[in-house]
Structure 1
Amino acid sequence: MSTLATERVQAQTSRFVLSVDGQLNSIKRKASENNSFEGKEYDYSLHPRLGYRFNKRWTAGLAYHFSKNEIDYTANLNFNGMDVLLKSELGTKRHGYGFFIQNHLVDNNKFQLFVELDGQKAKEKSFKEVNDFITIIDNREIFRESDQYNAAINIGSRYYFFKNLAVEIRSNNIVQYRHAENSNNNKEWTVKDFKLLDNVLGNISLGLAFRF
């Protein structure tokens, strides 16, 4: 009883929550004919958040987002009777800063269930690199830049398995709005989109949370 009472007191006096969650995916692909094509795609993301808990129902704070997607592939091509080894890399990097507000639907000290609204301003760059081992071409360039403004509704839960340390699982971007201002060389264009329950499984992330 005393241990349980101590944990409840700690939970009530802890005002800050630091959480870090992320995703990691990797896919390998091979060509059909003579294994002339081989590729690998991977992406990962990291989302640290620092929140201040105002009361039992509400938490608000600041968030940072980093993600990277990369596709590497190797192809053996026949060019004018010569075998050419071609390597190419495509990728996207994204950095974002923003805020979040959480409403705790369930909180019994050990387990928390919350719905979250977040807003974010992000910078995204896409790049490509081609290596031709016959002509020794090495070409790397930024082919798209994007300034983005995002808003999303997320759902998450935490289970405190050790004092103030919890495991956290989140379903991100249940509802999402994105405004992107893109540029490529001398071209500029704007994209606005609204998504509902898009790629639900792909938007699940895992992490840890610490209250203090």
Structure 2
Amino acid sequence: MTDNRKIICEKRTYSRELNSHDHDFGQLLFPLYGSMHIQTMEQNINLTSDYCFYLPPELNHAYRSNDRNEFLILDIPKYYLPSETQSMYIQLERQWSSIRYLLLEETINRNKASNALRDLTSYIAQKLPSATSPSIDYIQKHYKEPIKLEKLAKLEHYHPVYFSSWFKQKTGKSPKTYISELRLEEAKRLLHSTTWSITSISEELGFKNSSSFTRWFVKYVGSPPQKYRNLK
């Protein structure tokens, strides 16, 4: 059984068997190869090597892997974490790719006390999202619909101008970018995990037509939706 008082950084593999549990520590999962299906009450994730995923303490989740796999896992004791955190699906851009590299280096020393690992874990913990605020909770439930800044500001009891500044300080992103990223991840998931037409996907995500969805998708991804789907 994992000792929740210790940081654990190691490589693990997972079976095809569907398991479900929670744990009293935070956990960060980096796929090195292969993929994993993770399901929580609110999320249904196919975790691949372009992303990592953070699971907060006490979040029940089901998981399995249908292919050969290896994952880099960081188990984070509660005392490193903010008072409350939420799950986080993270694209491996430069910063998080660098974090993965540093953690891989630490797996060599997993049987030794490592000040570097403790410092790195503290740094990572500060980058994790805190418990959902009313506006973020609203966005996560309604991101497929038009959302006005005034509505979000009202939920937090802030003036719209101050709300934008507060939101960026809290999430590292503007409300518009935050909403776009949620829609983009859902678009990618639907393109890879369903046979829905481009028109159906664009309607599901709240676009007026498939042309506006395609232009938006090209802007953020660099290729049309159908081409992206064919790359899977």
TM tier, shorter chain? Answer: under 0.3
Q: What TM-score does the superposition give when structure 1 sets the normalisation length? A: 0.25
Counting helix residues as a fraction of each chain, which structure ranks higher? 2
Counting strand residues as a fraction of each chain, which structure ranks higher? 1
